[in-house]
Structure 1
Amino acid sequence: MTIEALSILIYAMLLFAVVVTQATYAGITAGNAFGFSNRDEPQPRMGPFGRRVDKTLANLKEGAIIYLPLAVMAVALDVSNIWTVVAAFTTIISRVLYVPIFFAGIPVLRTVIWAPSFVAMPVMAWGILVG
C-alpha cells in the first residue's frame, strides 16, 4: 500500500474517531434522549470541550473535501513521487497531532500543527500534475 493510499485510510479512521468522540460526549452530557432526537434544539450542556470537538470535526471535514479527492486521484492514477509522498505523510502527521491538541484547547500550537496539512494540499496537487 502506498503512503498516499494509507493516508486515505488513516484520514477516514481519524474522522470516524472524532465522530465517535462527538457522539459519546453528546450522550454523556446531553443524555440519550438528545442523541436519539431530531436535534432541532442546540445540544444542552455542551461546554467548551464539546464545542472544540464540534470544531475539530468541522475542520477535518473541510480538509477532507480538498485533500481526499487529491489523494484518491494520486492512487487512481498510480502517481507516487516525492511531492505526493511528502504531502500524504505531512497531512497525516499534522492531522493526527491536530485532533488531541484541539481537544485539549491549546490555541497557538493548534494552528502551528494544522498549517502543514493546509500547505500539503497544493503540494499533493503539484505532485499529481508532475507525476
Structure 2
Amino acid sequence: MHTLCCIKLKKPEKLFGVIMNPEALVLLLLPALGSIYFMIGGGIPLIAEQGAGAAFWTARDNLPAFQNKYSQRLQRANENFKETLPHAVSLLLLVQFLGLNNEISAAGGWIYFGARVVYIPIYFFGIPLIRSFVWAISVAGLVMVSWPIIGAL
C-alpha cells in the first residue's frame, strides 16, 4: 500500500489474473468511457432527433445539425473528450514504457478518468462554471500523470 494525500493506493492490482498497475487499468477503462461518450454524443441524440432510419439505414451525408440543446451539449462534450483523450493515452503509455509510474501518476490517471465521468452530466445540465472547473481538474490529472516524466528530464 502506498499513501498519497491520505488516499491509500494499492499497487499493483490484479484484474482477470493479470497484474496491472493503476495507470494500465485507467488505460483499459478509457475505451469503455470513450464508447459512452460516442453513444451519448452522437448515436443517441441522432436516433432521438432523426429516428433510427437516419442513424442506421442511410449514409448520413446531409443530416441537419442537432436542434435540441441537450443533444448539442452532449455532442460538444464528446468533442471535448476526443480532444483530451490522445493526450491522456499518450501520457499514460509513456509513463508506463519509461517505468516512471508512481503514486502521483496513478492518482493523476484516476483523477482524469473520474473528472471525465463527472463531466458528462455537468455538461448535459449546462452548469458552466462547474463544467470548466471539472475540465480543469481533468487537465490537472494529466499534469500529475506527466509529473514523473518531467521530473526525469
TM-score, normalization by structure 1? 0.86
- Given candidates 33, 46, 49, the residue that maps to 1:29 is 49
The residue aligned with 1:3 is: 22
The residue aligned with 2:37 is: 18
Cα RMSD, aligned residues only? 1.9
Post-superposition Cα deviations, 1:23-68, rounded to whole Å, max 9, x if no partner, equal: 1221122112321333332436531011111101101110102111
Q: Which has the higher contact order (CA 8 A, sep 6+)?
A: 1
- Give yes or no for contact 1:82–1:127 (8 Å, CA) kept in 2: no
The residue aligned with 2:140 is: 119
Classify 1:27/1:63 alpha carbon distance in 2 versus 1 (closer, same or farther; 3 Å): same
For 2:91 and 2:36, the matched residues in 1 are separated by 22
For 2:135 and 2:149, the matched residues in 1 are separated by 22
Unmatched tracts of structure 2, length 5 or more: 1-19
- Give yes or no for contact 1:26–1:46 (8 Å, CA) kept in 2: no
Paired residues in the alignment total 131
- Given candidates 39, 47, 56, the residue that maps to 2:77 is 56
Identical counterparts, % of pairs? 24
Unmatched tracts of structure 1, length 5 or more: none
TM-score, normalization by structure 2? 0.75
The structure in which a higher percent of residues are helix is 1
For 1:120 and 1:45, the matched residues in 2 are separated by 32
- Given candidates 96, 105, 129, the residue that maps to 2:126 is 105
Larger Rg: 2
Which ranges of 4 or more aligned residues in structure 1 deviate by more than 4 Å? none
The farther-off stretch of 42-51 and 52-61 is 42-51
